Structure 1
């Protein structure tokens, strides 16, 4: 299972932040060549990031947020970063399937030029406009290398001509629509940022809501937000125990030729089993199973 409970954005033109990336604790570090870097700094940021990653100074899972396909930076960005030891790229300003297919073609050319397997670098698209949200399913299914999408709430609010509110009502439709589109496509969905790094309670509330909606993780902007988001998206001991009981009960039912089982007075069927298997896979990927076993010992 690809673990993306947290994707932490850091600007690629900051030597200090690059050197601290290994201790920030996020599942994925997103090295930013886009909004976090001023136009005049973009070539420098690209060169600095390449030198940093080529030397093996980062030991975690890395992705790069490149500039969008309509900018003069996109082709240079992918030519530079795809040969690096990264999972892939985050593609901002995702709006149409044609853009995804164009990015896929150009990425394939770079992969072949560098002896990489075609499709070896994934894409996470970011829906940041009303058009991007409405076209999410078409974009997510435009290329097999698209692993999922994230939601860019700040730019989305601008595209609607509204201001962000404390209760985020203006984001409600887009957040729900985007996660449904991702799940319909069988892809990952990464929730939008919580911008107040000092409000842990607000972060937890929004993250818990995102998990209930079906998101797989959250885009974060500070290492301080990582523990809260991990806590929400990591299965608890109670959830792990229940998932194991579901699996055992369904296995017994199958041996007896039954398609359903009963656990604690509640009926279990294949969808419940799939949910339990997902919980156990997430627990294994996040290390929760090993921690639970150590605690039992």
Structure 2
């Protein structure tokens, strides 16, 4: 599943959904959780159901449900797990056990609604509770539906009673640097996509681009957007350039020409197996198949 950019959209706002439709995001996350007040949850579910039955679209259809413990999770799932849905975003999980529980619910609902088994994928916001921060190792054996993990600082900050989660220069304070790193490690250990959290100042395109550059440098493959204007920047930052792809092909070709060696030289520089892995990942990110 290609997920460079994932744009949150309140599920109860027709205007915002219409604006998001053509923004170029790889996925829209129709939100039933924080952006929808309690009195409009039922309306938002009905809006999602109507949109799922609408014409074809050029983005992945994801829905963020309300977390376990709210008493709303099952109602959300029953309303939205139907043909047209690509995935569920699970917020405020306390650990992989809750992911497995929701996966079992989806198993049943896929059968009930005629969706092919395993089609609906799961994406986890993995750092929003203190308990979640203690169980990352368990994601190594996560369910097959899990395709991506992201992290969030605001709910964790509130749960910890932190006065702020940012340094004066805008950098994350240490606890949230840990959360970000743990998410990145856990996603890669589980073999799923690591997605960086949102960049809150949607007017600061330069800051967003620099933050994306750092995220990609560190190993994230996409990120959450909170405004349509952020999507183009995120897509550009997480898409390998033509030069990047050309270099990746050279690395792969060099190793293919010398299958019995662990290092190769290109333009006076030495490349080893981790460089080969990175080259294959770059080409895979644009759908280029690598013959083994």
Whether these two folds match at TM > 0.5 is yes
Which residue in the other structure is 1:224 paired with?
A: 229
Gaps of 5+ in 2: none
| Residues in 1 aligned to 2:227 and 2:20: alpha-carbon distance in whole angstroms | 11
Does the alignment pair 1:276 with 2:275?
no
Q: Which moved more, 1:147-156 or 1:259-268?
A: 259-268
| Residues in 1 aligned to 2:84 and 2:47: alpha-carbon distance in whole angstroms | 15
Are 2:32 and 2:41, in contact at CA under 8 Å, matched by a contact in 1? Answer: yes
Are 2:264 and 2:272, in contact at CA under 8 Å, matched by a contact in 1? Answer: yes
Are 2:45 and 2:79, in contact at CA under 8 Å, matched by a contact in 1? Answer: yes
The structure with the greater share of residues assigned to helix is: 1
| Residues in 2 aligned to 1:229 and 1:223: alpha-carbon distance in whole angstroms | 10
Deviation, 1:26, is 0.8
Does the alignment pair 1:169 with 2:173?
yes
Deviation, 1:86, is 2.0
TM-score (norm: length of structure 2): 0.91
Moved over 4 A (4+): none
Are 1:94 and 1:139, in contact at CA under 8 Å, matched by a contact in 2? Answer: no
| Residues in 2 aligned to 1:207 and 1:129: alpha-carbon distance in whole angstroms | 24
Does the alignment pair 1:72 with 2:77?
no
Change in Cα spacing, 1:203 to 1:67, as seen in structure 2 (3 Å) is: same
Which residue in the other structure is 1:260 paired with?
A: 263
Are 2:83 and 2:113, in contact at CA under 8 Å, matched by a contact in 1? Answer: no
| Residues in 1 aligned to 2:54 and 2:2: alpha-carbon distance in whole angstroms | 25
TM-score (norm: length of structure 1): 0.89
Which residue in the other structure is 2:107 paired with?
A: 108
Does the alignment pair 1:200 with 2:205?
yes
Are 2:195 and 2:220, in contact at CA under 8 Å, matched by a contact in 1? Answer: yes
Are 1:21 and 1:58, in contact at CA under 8 Å, matched by a contact in 2? Answer: no
Change in Cα spacing, 1:30 to 1:270, as seen in structure 2 (3 Å) is: same
Deviation, 1:246, is 0.5
* 3-state SS in 1 of match to 2:165: coil
* 3-state SS in 1 of match to 2:123: strand
| Residues in 2 aligned to 1:194 and 1:212: alpha-carbon distance in whole angstroms | 16
Which residue in the other structure is 2:95 paired with?
A: 96
Change in Cα spacing, 1:52 to 1:177, as seen in structure 2 (3 Å) is: same
Gaps of 5+ in 1: 286-297
Instruction: Map 1:50-65; keep pairs closer than 5 Å.
Output: 50-56=49-55, 58-65=57-64
* 3-state SS in 1 of match to 2:258: helix
Which residue in the other structure is 2:220 paired with?
A: 215
| Residues in 2 aligned to 1:213 and 1:129: alpha-carbon distance in whole angstroms | 23
Please tell me the root mean square deviation across aligned C-alpha atoms, in Å: 1.7
Number of residue pairs matched? 282
Deviation, 1:241, is 1.5
Are 1:8 and 1:29, in contact at CA under 8 Å, matched by a contact in 2? Answer: yes
Deviations 1:1-27 (A, max 9, x none): x21111100000001122233212111
Which residue in the other structure is 1:290 paired with?
A: none
* 3-state SS in 1 of match to 2:114: coil
Are 1:136 and 1:182, in contact at CA under 8 Å, matched by a contact in 2? Answer: no
Deviations 1:60-100 (A, max 9, x none): 21100011122222111111211131211001111122211
Which residue in the other structure is 2:148 paired with?
A: 148
Which residue in the other structure is 1:288 paired with?
A: none
Which residue in the other structure is 1:289 paired with?
A: none
| Residues in 1 aligned to 2:118 and 2:151: alpha-carbon distance in whole angstroms | 23
Are 1:216 and 1:233, in contact at CA under 8 Å, matched by a contact in 2? Answer: yes
Change in Cα spacing, 1:208 to 1:130, as seen in structure 2 (3 Å) is: farther
